[in-house]
Amino acid sequence: MLLSSLFSYANLQMLLKLLRTGVDLLAVWIILYYLIMTFRTNIRTMQLFKGVILILIIKGITTIFGLATLNALVDMVLTWGVLAVIIIFQPEIRHILEKMGQTRNDFTHELSSTEKETVMNELVNAITRMSKDHTGALITFERQADLSDFIQTGIRVTSDIKSELLLTIFYEGTPLHDGATIIKNDQIVASACFYPPTNKDVPANYGARHRAAIGISEITDSLTVVVSEETGNISFCIDGELKVINPNELRLQLIKELNWYGNQEDDYHE
């Protein structure tokens, strides 16, 4: 009876140990996956991951074959490497912390079909006009991640979305044209807002607006529309990636990306 109890206890302990090990490995895998997905577009960070994996492989080899000198050198690299990574990759680490600390926008957008059509017409007319006139513009739409911290960097504006207002804001020489305009909950809420520029390598022809658009998209789930002053090109920036939009497809692409229009896209195809 006693042996049976001891055997059952041993099995339970073994099961708990395996369970803890499984949870531990799963947690590490989730963290690594999150880090890789977060910085998958950042070449410097991906190179860092490759370097860390290489060092760990070398560490395993030195341990197995008892290479004491090389093992001590690898330990030194691992010890001081953590500090070096924190210093070198401070901007990327900051982006992770900002993403983790974001609050969510729980506002429910409830617009009638007529209101949706009106708002979409105002947006398309303004962006298309700025594209034709080569008027540089940076317009960010809040989605789930709250943009209050960035709204505070600019000038507060509370207005319905009107094409005339957007054209006036981005007209060169006006006090609000330099910076981004943020649209939140179906309203223009701030202009002349500033974003942290991206730290990743970008093409040389990308100006300050494009770098700022990439920067805000790396730390939030927002949609940013960029109009190039030099070329007139219209670009969407999401998740750290810029995509040039054909003006003829601007309406459809806005409907697709702005989730506050719900699934009633058929209203725009009639």
CATH of the domain at 188: 3.40.1700.10
Residues forming beta bridges with residue 141, ordered by sequence position: 183, 223
Please report the DSSP string for 167-192 in residue order: HHHTSTTSTTSSSEEEEETTEEEEEE
Closest by CA position to 193, among listed 155, 244, 235, 224 = 155
Burial class of residue 259 (count of CB atoms within 10 Å of its CB; 0-12, 13-18, 19+):
middle
Instruction: Please provide residue 224's backbone torsions phi and psi, each rounded to the nearest 5 degrees.
Output: -120, 130
The per-residue pLDDT for 135 is 95
The tens digit of pLDDT for each residue in 81-123 reads: 767 766 766 665 666 666 555 555 555 556 677 878 888 999 9
Residues 118 and 88 in one domain: no
Which residues span the domain enclosing 12? 1-101
Residues 46 and 117 in one domain: no
The per-residue pLDDT for 151 is 93
**Tally of domains in the chain:** 2
The tens digit of pLDDT for each residue in 163-179 reads: 999 999 999 889 898 89
pTM (predicted TM-score): 0.64
CA angle (218 as vertex; 217, 223 as ends), nearest 5: 15
